[in-house]
Structure 1
Amino acid sequence: MHVLVSNIMMINEKDRFDAVLREKGLMPIWPEVNQFMAEHQCLEYAQGVDGWLAGDDQITKTVLESYLPRLKVISKWGTGIDSIDLKAAQRLNVPVCNSPGAFRDAVSEYAIGLLLAATRRLARTDRMIRAGEWPKGRFPGMTGKTMGVVGYGAIGQGVGQRARGLGMNVIAHDPHMDSAPDGTQIVSFDDLLDQADVICLCCNQTPENYHQINADTLEKARDQVILCNVARGGLVDEAALIAALQSGKVAAAALDVFEQEPLPTDHPLLQFENVAVSSHNANSTVQAIEYVHENTLNNLYRHLGL
């Protein structure tokens, strides 16, 4: 049986996972991937794959139909499955597996770290000291502020837990939740914009929330609001965010994800000292990554009858 391996995390350890798959009697296929495969690249492997160890590939209805009847399972590396047409997969009886909740601790602690990097200028201070300077800045702290978490699943709840550890008040918005397991107040998105000093995006991206952070919603937000995005780049209208940073409406931004990845070196967001950027890598703890490696493979083996 042939297995397509298109997720970056396993591609980065190709020799290791090539050997692991071959030991199971499988024949791995290793495409050239820059972050994820677009629809046209996915279509290049139609009819030749029994299992798919997928990344954030554009697995559309057209792609799914082209892989049948041979494809038996899509085992997605990680938690997010918004790049897969799940309705089509269900209708076509193609199982889609992931690792829900696996990155709760890794991503939520990274969100807080990235937030502090943006607001307290940690990386900039480090660079200045290495250059022989000794800066003494004055920056906003988190204690006493209200953290508004958008998307209150495993990662959102992890962010809430850590924000309380910083002495923050926590509210959340989640359209799928009337009450939170940890007692956090669930509010409407408009109420969150009105009350939050810090907005942290932890939700899946859907057609309904694409560019949820835009010129209109930023206008409704508090002055000097701070934005953190560890979810998906498409949740934020980057042009609107840039304008809000320029005007001072947004005091700082902590961004692990972007609409175009990798982020171009001439991207306007890189001109701001109050913006901390990262490489879509908030899940980067050894423990979390190894767990997802194992779970992704087990999901594949189970559906291939191994």
Structure 2
Amino acid sequence: MHVLVSNVMMINERDRFDALLQGKGLTPIWPEVNQFMTEPQCLEFAGDIDGWLAGDDQITQTVLEAYLPRIKVISKWGTGVDSIDLEAAQRLNVPVCNSPGAFQDAVGEYAIGLLLAATRRLARTDRLIRAGKWPKGRFPGMAGKTMGVVGYGAIGQGVGQRARGLGMNVIAHDPHMGSAPDGTQIVSFDDLLGQADVICLCCNQTPENYHLINADTLEKARDQVILCNVARGGLVDEAALIAALQSGKVAAAALDVFEQEPLPTDHPLLQFENVAVSSHNANSTVQAIEYVHENTLNNLYRHLGL
């Protein structure tokens, strides 16, 4: 049986996973991948694949239909499945597996770290000291501020837990949740915009919430709002964010994800000292990554009858 390995996390450890898959009697297929495979790239392997260890690949209805009848499972590395047409997969009886809740701690920690990097200028201070300077800044603290979390699943709850540890008040918006397991107040998106000093995006990207943060929603937000995005780049209209940073409407931004990845070196967001950027890597703890490796393989093996 042939297994397509297109997630960059396993590709980065190709020798390790090549041996594991071959040890199970499987033949791994290793495509050239830059972050994820586009629909045309996915279609190149149609008809030849029994199982798929997928990343954020564009797995559309067209792709799913082309992989039938041979494909038995798509085992997605990680938690997000917004790049897969789940309705089509269900209709075509193609199982899709992921690792829900795996990154609650890892991304929760990282979101707070990135937020502090943006607001307290941690990386900039480090660079200046290494250059022989000794800066003394005045920056906003988080204690007493309101954190508004958009998407209050496992990761959102992880962010909320840590924000409360900083002395923040936490509210959340989640259209799929009437009440929160931890008692956090669930509010409408407009109410969150009006109340939150910090907005942290922890939701899936769907056609409905593409560019959720845009010129109009930023106008409704509080002055000097701080934005943190550890979810998906398409949730933010980057042109609107840049304009809001220039005007001072947005006081700082902490961004792990972008509409184009890797981020171009001439991207305008890199001009701002009050923007902290990262490489879509908020899940980067040894514990979380190893758990997802194991769970992703087990999901594959189970559906292949191994």
- Structure 1 residue ranges (4+ consecutive) displaced by more than 2 angstroms after TM superposition: none
Q: Equivalents in 2 of 1:68, 1:27: separation in Å?
A: 18
1:78-124 Cα offsets, whole Å, 9 max, x none, are 00000000000000000000000000000010000000000000000
1:122-163 Cα offsets, whole Å, 9 max, x none, are 000000000000000000000000000000000000100000
Q: Equivalents in 1 of 2:292, 2:177: separation in Å?
A: 26
Q: Does 1:230 align with 2:230?
A: yes
Shift of 1:169: 0.2
1:56-93 Cα offsets, whole Å, 9 max, x none, are 00000000000000000000000000000000000000
Shift of 1:44: 0.1
Structure 2: tracts of 5 or more residues without a match:
none
Shift of 1:36: 0.1
Q: Equivalents in 2 of 1:220, 1:283: separation in Å?
A: 31
Shift of 1:168: 0.2
Shift of 1:228: 0.1
Shift of 1:289: 0.1
Q: Equivalents in 2 of 1:221, 1:118: separation in Å?
A: 18
Q: Equivalents in 2 of 1:118, 1:162: separation in Å?
A: 17
Shift of 1:267: 0.1
1:21-47 Cα offsets, whole Å, 9 max, x none, are 000000000000000000000000000
Shift of 1:16: 0.2
Shift of 1:242: 0.1
Give me the TM-score of the superposition, normalised by structure 1.
1.00
Give me the TM-score of the superposition, normalised by structure 2.
1.00
Equivalence for 2:57:
57
Q: Equivalents in 1 of 2:274, 2:233: separation in Å?
A: 18
Q: Does 1:31 align with 2:31?
A: yes
Shift of 1:283: 0.1
Q: Helix, strand or coil: the match of 1:75? A: strand
Shift of 1:185: 0.3
Shift of 1:170: 0.3
Q: Equivalents in 2 of 1:24, 1:163: separation in Å?
A: 44
1:157-191 Cα offsets, whole Å, 9 max, x none, are 01000000000000000000010000000000000
Q: Helix, strand or coil: the match of 1:115? A: helix
Q: Equivalents in 2 of 1:65, 1:208: separation in Å?
A: 25
Shift of 1:48: 0.3
Shift of 1:241: 0.1
Q: Helix, strand or coil: the match of 1:178? A: coil
Equivalence for 2:300:
300
Q: Helix, strand or coil: the match of 1:254? A: strand
Q: Helix, strand or coil: the match of 1:171? A: strand
Q: Equivalents in 2 of 1:60, 1:215: separation in Å?
A: 30
Shift of 1:250: 0.1
Aligned residues between the structures: 306
Q: Equivalents in 1 of 2:192, 2:161: separation in Å?
A: 18
1:1-306 map, 5 Å: 1-306=1-306
Shift of 1:50: 0.1
Q: Equivalents in 1 of 2:109, 2:270: separation in Å?
A: 23
Q: Helix, strand or coil: the match of 2:171? A: strand
